[in-house]
Amino acid sequence: MSKPSNTGISALYDPYNAEKPLLVGCSCGEDHAPDQHNEIAAQRLHNEEDMSRNVIEATVMKALFPVDSVRRGFLRAVGTNTARAAIASMFPLSALEAMAQNSGALEKKDLKIGFIAITCASPIIMADPLGFYKRQGLNVSLNKTAGWALIRDKMINKEHDASHFLAPMPIAMSMGLGSNQVNMNVATIQNTNGQAITLHVKHKDKRNPKDWKGFKFAVPFEYSMHNFLLRYYLAESGINPDTDVQIRVTPPPEMVANLRAGNIDGFLGPDPFNQRAVYDEVGFIHILSKEIWDGHPCCAFGVSDEFIKQNPNTFAALYRSLIAAAYMAKEPSNRALIAKSIAPTAYLNQPETVVAQVLTGKFADGLGGVKNVPDRANFDPVPWHSMAVWILTQMKRWGYIKGDVNYKQIAEKVFMITDAKKYMTEAGWQTEAGNYKRFKVMGREFDPTKPDEYVKSFKINKLS
């Protein structure tokens, strides 16, 4: 059954052996004598499944304990079995194994994925340094992209195979709004919460939105949750976002520089730029986006219809890598490690402490206080259809769509909830039943079955 060339490797991968160093990625026969080799072969595991499990567990252990002496100390202290049980309860190891094994032949192994350097993209980014793509046999090259318009164009031009998106973008693209009509899909939501309204420090005393007339705000893109949430928040305070303030589109990385220069009074933007504004003492965090809608989607992972049709197995492998990455990201205890792996120049290019404050939720608010909000940023991949319907209601409310909208049809076409749930279940993730999960926005419940009534219920709108 097992291949002879593999015999020694599994023993070297044994992550629960306190007596031996953990060698991930080393090939057998490198530095042990032949008699030792036999000894290793004698205790070899009898089939490839054991081998594969050990490799997966070894990788998990390596990620948890980058320093080998710490891992050994931990194992000696708590005992191998306790450690194994603890790790297994955190990571769906059996599901990971199933995933690693039943992948069909990949149609395309070298993939280009575009991303914007923000913490919303954590699963997409961390899957590279932590090896989630490699484990699925994918060779992914992550391309840092300058702005959302370029993300859209590079997906239309097929320069990128798949991409980090703002959740409303695939909806807009599928409807041909602001671009040629291209069928795009939201495979997973990348993150929930994790945005904030940041104001310039000179506005420390103007905490009531009613005082914000004449302000200039930046949002990352027209078809963004940021734009819709900021408009919603302002309108609830009686500020008309189209006439009382100016909302301009600015690529997220340029927001802090603009805030410092005084070009804008504030922004509803993605992290780490809210925290970076605080770190650079130019802004303070007015509210977290979670205070507007707790659990709102923000960014998404998207692919085109065409790509899914041409590369079903590659798409499945990508799906699994991202679900596995999101599974690791949602666990609060992993957040510091993730911050460390995505902060370097090649990815976010930010001071590690800034990224860590965003992901762990223990942060300086820019007003002299330390806040502790563990779910400041969260990761939940389910693309609920109700979210898509809400996005469409806001697009209608603010005049981005004219005429009648078939909310249900568009939501169900673009948001791939069935596939997402399938791969999540495979990974051992519990998901709620149904496709139209209910939620509240600023205390008001949204009924996805009556979108048109919802749109008409707002006093401030741009319907006519």
Partner 1 sequence: MNASLFKSLEFRAGLVSLLIFVFILAVWHAATLQSAPAPAPTTPVSAEQAEYDKLMGKSAPAAGETAKTTGFPTLAQMGSTVVKQLSNPFYDNGPNDKGIAIQLAYSLARVGLGFLIACLVAIPLGFVIGMSPLLRRAFDPFIQVLKPISPLAWMPLALYTIKDSSISGVFVIFICSVWPMLLNTAFGVASVKREWLNVASTLEVKPLRKALKVILPAAAPTILTGMRISMGIAWLVIVAAEMLVGGTGIGYFVWNEWNNLSLTNVIFAILVIGVVGMLLDLFFARLQRAVTYVE
- Judged by beta carbon, residue 117 or residue 127, the one nearer partner 1 is 117
Of the candidate residues 34, 214, 368, 443, the single one contacting partner 1 (CB under 8 A):
368
At residue 457, the 3 state secondary structure works out as: coil
Q: How far is the CB of 67 from partner 1 (least distance, A)?
A: 13
Q: How far is the CB of 300 from partner 1 (least distance, A)?
A: 21
Of the candidate residues 39, 97, 236, 254, the single one contacting partner 1 (CB under 8 A):
254
Q: Check binding of 48 to partner 1 (CB under 8 A).
A: no
Of the candidate residues 49, 107, 281, 306, the single one contacting partner 1 (CB under 8 A):
281
Q: Check binding of 279 to partner 1 (CB under 8 A).
A: yes
Q: How far is the CB of 146 from partner 1 (least distance, A)?
A: 4
At residue 146, the 3 state secondary structure works out as: coil
- Using CB atoms within 10 Å of the CB of residue 74, give its burial: 0 to 12 exposed, 13 to 18 middle, 19+ buried: middle
Q: Which residues pair with 362 in a beta bridge?
A: 372
Of the candidate residues 1, 33, 370, 433, the single one contacting partner 1 (CB under 8 A):
370
Q: Which two tokens stand for residue 50?
A: 């054991």
Residues numbered 155-174 forming contacts with partner 1, rule: CB under 8 A: 156-157, 159
Please spell the DSSP secondary structure of 11-58, one letter per residue: HHT-TT-TTS---SSPPTTSS--HHHHHHHHHT--SSHHHHHHHHHHH
Of the candidate residues 122, 227, 314, 357, the single one contacting partner 1 (CB under 8 A):
357
Cα 364 to Cα 117: distance, rounded to the nearest angstrom: 21
Q: Check binding of 225 to partner 1 (CB under 8 A).
A: no
Instruction: Decide the pairing of beta strands 444-446 and 439-441.
Output: antiparallel
- Judged by beta carbon, residue 325 or residue 348, the one nearer partner 1 is 348
Of the candidate residues 39, 50, 242, 280, the single one contacting partner 1 (CB under 8 A):
280
Q: What is the dihedral of CA 99, 105, 107, 112, to 10 degrees?
A: 40
Q: Which two tokens stand for residue 126?
A: 């961390």
- Judged by beta carbon, residue 170 or residue 251, the one nearer partner 1 is 251
CB 321 within 8 A of CB 113: no
Of the candidate residues 221, 223, 232, 347, the single one contacting partner 1 (CB under 8 A):
347
Q: Check binding of 336 to partner 1 (CB under 8 A).
A: no
Cα 251 to Cα 416: distance, rounded to the nearest angstrom: 27
Of the candidate residues 176, 344, 374, 434, the single one contacting partner 1 (CB under 8 A):
344
Q: Check binding of 148 to partner 1 (CB under 8 A).
A: no
- Judged by beta carbon, residue 284 or residue 429, the one nearer partner 1 is 284
Q: Which two tokens stand for residue 171?
A: 């909806």
- Judged by beta carbon, residue 240 or residue 353, the one nearer partner 1 is 353
Number of residues that bind partner 1 (CB under 8 A): 38
Q: What is the CA radius of gyration of the chain?
A: 24
Q: How far is the CB of 24 from partner 1 (least distance, A)?
A: 20
CB 272 within 8 A of CB 350: yes
Task: Determine the interface stretch with partner 1 among 39-47, 210-218, 248-256, 327-335 (rule: CB under 8 A).
Answer: 248-256
Categorise residue 29: left if φ over 0, alpha if ψ from -120 to 50, beta otherwise. Answer: left
Q: Which two tokens stand for residue 189?
A: 């939501």
Cα 235 to Cα 238: distance, rounded to the nearest angstrom: 5
Residues that bind partner 1 (CB under 8 A): 117, 141-146, 150, 153-154, 156-157, 159, 253-254, 256-257, 260, 276, 278-281, 344-347, 349-351, 353, 357, 362-364, 368-370
